[in-house]
C-alpha cells in the first residue's frame, strides 16, 4: 500500500492529537502532502514537525471549524499553497459532557458540541466541495462514531451529533456522486485517545470495564482508524461512497 496517495494534497482537521495526528502521519507515509489544521496551534505544529521528521511535507493552518470565516480561509490557504485539494478528512470534534442523563445535559454544552461536531463538518463540506467540483472530483472522509450508529447512555448529545454527521455524509455522497466526489465516514469505537482519557478521568470502574465493551477485547488505536481513512481517501476505494464504516472491534455488531 506504499504511496497509495502519492502526490495528493490532503487536509486534516483536528490534527493536533489523537486520531487526527495519527491520520496525518499515515497519509504522509502514503505520499500525500498534508495541510494540518487545529484550533490548538501547539498541537498542530507538533504534528507538522512529526510529518517533516519522517520525510513528509505540509503546512499548518490554524482554524476553529465552528467559524465559517476560519473554515473558508483554511481551504483557501491550502489551495493557494498547493493549487488543489484532493482529500479532506473532517475530523475535528469534541466529546461534550459525560455522566448525566439527557434531561440533565447543560444547554451551553449542547450548543458548543453541535457547533463543532455538526456545524463544523457541514462548514468543511460547504467550502471543500466547491474546490473539488472545480477539479472534477476528490475524496472526503468525516469522523462520526460508533455512537452515531447506535444509542449511547449518558452520551446522548454526542451520539446525536454523530448521527447527524452520518446523515450529512450520506446526503453529500448522493448529491455529488455524479461529480466524482466520494464522501464517507469512519465510525470509531472505543479508541485510546486523549478524548477517551477525558471521558474516563476519575471513573476508574468505567475505565477498567472499557476493554470488555468491544468484543475484540481491547481499545482500538488511533493508527487503526488512520489506516481506514487512508484507504477511503485512495483510489482503491473508488466505488465506495456514502459508507459509514464501523472501525470498532465489533462493538456495533452486538
Buried b (16+ CB within 10 A) or exposed e, 24-36: bbbbbbbebbbbb
- What local confidence, expressed as pLDDT, does residue 212 receive? 77
- DSSP character at residue 154: T
Q: Is residue 1 part of a domain?
A: no
Using one digit for the tens of pLDDT, what is the confidence trace for 131-166?
999 999 999 999 999 999 999 888 899 999 999 999
CATH number at residue 41: 3.40.50.720
What is the rounded average pLDDT for all residues in the chain?
94
Look up the domain containing 174 and give its range.
9-253
Q: Is residue 2 part of a domain?
A: no
Q: Is residue 190 part of a domain?
A: yes
Q: Is residue 4 part of a domain?
A: no
Alpha helices in 83-221 (DSSP H): 107-114, 120-135, 156-176, 194-200, 204-213
In the predicted model, is pLDDT for residue 241 greater than 60?
Answer: yes
C-alpha cell at 226: 488512520
196 band by pLDDT with thresholds 50, 70 and 90: confident
- What local confidence, expressed as pLDDT, does residue 206 receive? 64
What pTM was computed for the model? Answer: 0.95
- Active-site residue, selected from the candidate residues 89, 105, 158, 176: 158
Mean pLDDT value of segment 13-28:
98
Q: Are strands 33-38 and 58-62 parallel, antiparallel or unpaired?
A: parallel
Mean pLDDT value of segment 226-246:
98
- What local confidence, expressed as pLDDT, does residue 203 receive? 67
Give CA–CA dist 6/30, Å, rounded. Answer: 6
Is 82 among the catalytic positions? no
Q: Is residue 37 part of a domain?
A: yes
Q: Is residue 201 part of a domain?
A: yes
Q: Is residue 166 part of a domain?
A: yes
Q: Are 152 and 109 in contact (CB under 8 A)?
A: no
Q: Is residue 215 part of a domain?
A: yes
Q: Count structural domains, the chain.
A: 1
Using one digit for the tens of pLDDT, what is the confidence trace for 205-218?
666 777 778 999 99
Amino acid at each position: 500500500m506504499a504511496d497509495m496517495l502519492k502526490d495528493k494534497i490532503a487536509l486534516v482537521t483536528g490534527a493536533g492529537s489523537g486520531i487526527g495526528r495519527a491520520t496525518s502521519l499515515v497519509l504522509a507515509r502514503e505520499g500525500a502532502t498534508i495541510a494540518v489544521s487545529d484550533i490548538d496551534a501547539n498541537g498542530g505544529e507538533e504534528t507538522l514537525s512529526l510529518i517533516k521528521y519522517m520525510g513528509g511535507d505540509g503546512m499548518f493552518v490554524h482554524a476553529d471549524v465552528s467559524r465559517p470565516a476560519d473554515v473558508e480561509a483554511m481551504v483557501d490557504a491550502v489551495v493557494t499553497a498547493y493549487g488543489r485539494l484532493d482529500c479532506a478528512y473532517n475530523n475535528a470534534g469534541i466529546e461534550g459532557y459525560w455522566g448525566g442523563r439527557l434531561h440533565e445535559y447543560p444547554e451551553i454544552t449542547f450548543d458548543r458540541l453541535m457547533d463543532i461536531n455538526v456545524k463544523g463538518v457541514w462548514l468543511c463540506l460547504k467550502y471543500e466541495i466547491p474546490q473539488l467540483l472545480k477539479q472534477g472530483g476528490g475524496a472526503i472522509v468525516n469522523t462520526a462514531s460508533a455512537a452515531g450508529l447506535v444509542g449511547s447512555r449518558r452520551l446522548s448529545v454526542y451520539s446525536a451529533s454523530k448521527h447527524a454527521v452520518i446523515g450529512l455524509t450520506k446526503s453529500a455522497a448522493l448529491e455529488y456522486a455524479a461529480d466524482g466526489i466520494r464522501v464517507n465516514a469512519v465510525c470509531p469505537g472505543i479508541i485510546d485517545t486523549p478524548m477517551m482519557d477525558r471521558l474516563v478521568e476519575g471513573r476508574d470502574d468505567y475505565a477498567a470495564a472499557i476493554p470488555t465493551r468491544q468484543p475484540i477485547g481491547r481499545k482500538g488505536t488511533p493508527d487503526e482508524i488512520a489506516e481506514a481513512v487512508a484507504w477511503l481517501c485512495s483510489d482503491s476505494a473508488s466505488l465506495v461512497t456514502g459508507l459509514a464504516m464501523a472501525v470498532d472491534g465489533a462493538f456495533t455488531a452486538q
